[in-house]
Amino acid sequence: MTDTIQLAHGSGGLENQQLIHDLFFTAFDNPVLAAGEDAALIEGGRLAVSTDSFTVSPLFFPGGDIGTLAVAGTLNDVAMRGARPQHITVAFIIEEGVKMNMLIRIINSMREELAVSGAQVIAGDTKVVPRGVIDQLMINTTGFGTIVSDCNTRRIAAGDHLIISGDIARHGACIFAAREEIAIKGLTSDCCTLWPAIAPLLEAGLDVHAMRDATRGGISAVFNEWAQQTGLNFNLHEDNIPVSSEVRGFAEILGIDPYILACEGVFVMAVAAQDSAAVINLLHRHGHPRAALVGAVETTQGTATVLLHSAYGTKRRLEYPSGEILPRIC
């Protein structure tokens, strides 16, 4: 381990994962935590719980704000486990001097986002810290939901089809562009609550094995984590992965791989092959028109890898993201 915490330790990539495993999993070791899913199951497997802290600069961005994120992000983690999001706790850490009307605006977006899933805030906390201690505002939320069908990484099997629910990397690209003040027309965050898309799949009894929202580290982090946890190969067809022209343009200018950029309203699923067409069909009808079949899971003799296949017959690894995301120099 390094002597100091670096930004890379929080960026959803390799360093982040190492920190979690070497420090937290070791210190707090127990079977529920060790499962390593985005949401934990307690109460005999009936209740899914997930917690997340939110800090984003700028606080307001095209397509949402920190409030939208804090609600959607945590409830999505609950939904990805196959649970109906019902309750959420909210804790604010606010920097002295923050404008009241800004806070009101953020609270209003949280209320609007809660309405999408019908979840309710059941407890909260507020701390105000002296100017300069934090940058304006941080929010922590903890979400609770009741299990409809337990979706988890252990259920992923060779032969499963891989689906991505929409065009990737919009949130990451949008925040990056806003921070660097690069204007890209039409580039907005994809931030949204995913339960309305998940509910019909579970209600229809479709054989969904695992789901993960592709937040920090993008789809690359999800597939690599799955490969590591299952020991299986993940084969993806690059041409089928939905990417908007705005994100493509952004990636081109900065030399950044869209596969490692965060989504906040796009998720990845492993489903039984016979149900994949039905899953895609339902996703198309429930607000995710770009959902697509992108690949399949396979057994491997060697180390489990994520492979990207091009339409012209070449292939390459999709690497676990690592380090800070930095634009190229030349």
Partner 1 sequence: MKAADTLLQMVRSTDAIRAFAKRIEIDAAQLKKPLRVMEVCGGHTHAILQYGLDQLLPQSVKLIHGPGCPVCVLPQHRIDAAINLAWRPNTILVTLGDMIRVPGSQGISLQQTRAAGADVRYVYSPLDCLAIAADNPDKNIIYVAIGFETTTPMTALLLEQTQSKQLNNLFFHCNHVLVPQAMERILAAGGAVDAFIAPGHVSVMAGAKQYQHLAEKYRTPVVISGFEPVDLLDAVLRIINQVNSGVAEVDNAYSRFVKTAGNHKAQQLVATYFEPHDDFLWRGIGRIPGSALKLRSTFGDRDAEVQFPESCPAPTEEKPGNCLCGLILMGLAQPTDCPLFADGCTPQNPQGSCMVSNEGACAAYYKYRRES
**Contact positions toward partner 1, by CB under 8 A?**
2, 4-8, 14-15, 180-182, 184-186, 239, 245-246, 248-249, 252, 254-255, 302-303, 305, 307, 310-317, 319, 322-324, 326-330
Select 203 or 239, whichever has its Cβ closest to partner 1: 239
Select 14 or 198, whichever has its Cβ closest to partner 1: 14
- The answer to whether 239 touches 297, Cβ cutoff 8 Å, is no
Residue spans of beta strands (DSSP E) within 96-132: 120-129
Select 31 or 132, whichever has its Cβ closest to partner 1: 132
Select 155 or 237, whichever has its Cβ closest to partner 1: 237
Closest CA to 86 of 38, 159, 150, 147: 147
Compute the least distance from the CB of residue 108 to partner 1, in Å.
Answer: 31
Select 117 or 224, whichever has its Cβ closest to partner 1: 224
Residue 23 DSSP one-character state: I
Select 41 or 177, whichever has its Cβ closest to partner 1: 177
Compute the least distance from the CB of residue 124 to partner 1, in Å.
Answer: 32
Amino acid identity, position 165: S
C-alpha distance from residue 109 to each of 112, 168, 312 (Å): 5, 23, 45
Compute the least distance from the CB of residue 271 to partner 1, in Å.
Answer: 26
Compute the least distance from the CB of residue 81 to partner 1, in Å.
Answer: 30
- The answer to whether 124 touches 110, Cβ cutoff 8 Å, is no
- The answer to whether 233 touches 307, Cβ cutoff 8 Å, is yes
- The answer to whether 141 touches 71, Cβ cutoff 8 Å, is yes
Backbone angles phi, psi at 206, to 5 degrees: -70, 150
Residue 239 DSSP one-character state: G
Compute the least distance from the CB of residue 175 to partner 1, in Å.
Answer: 13
Compute the least distance from the CB of residue 315 to partner 1, in Å.
Answer: 6
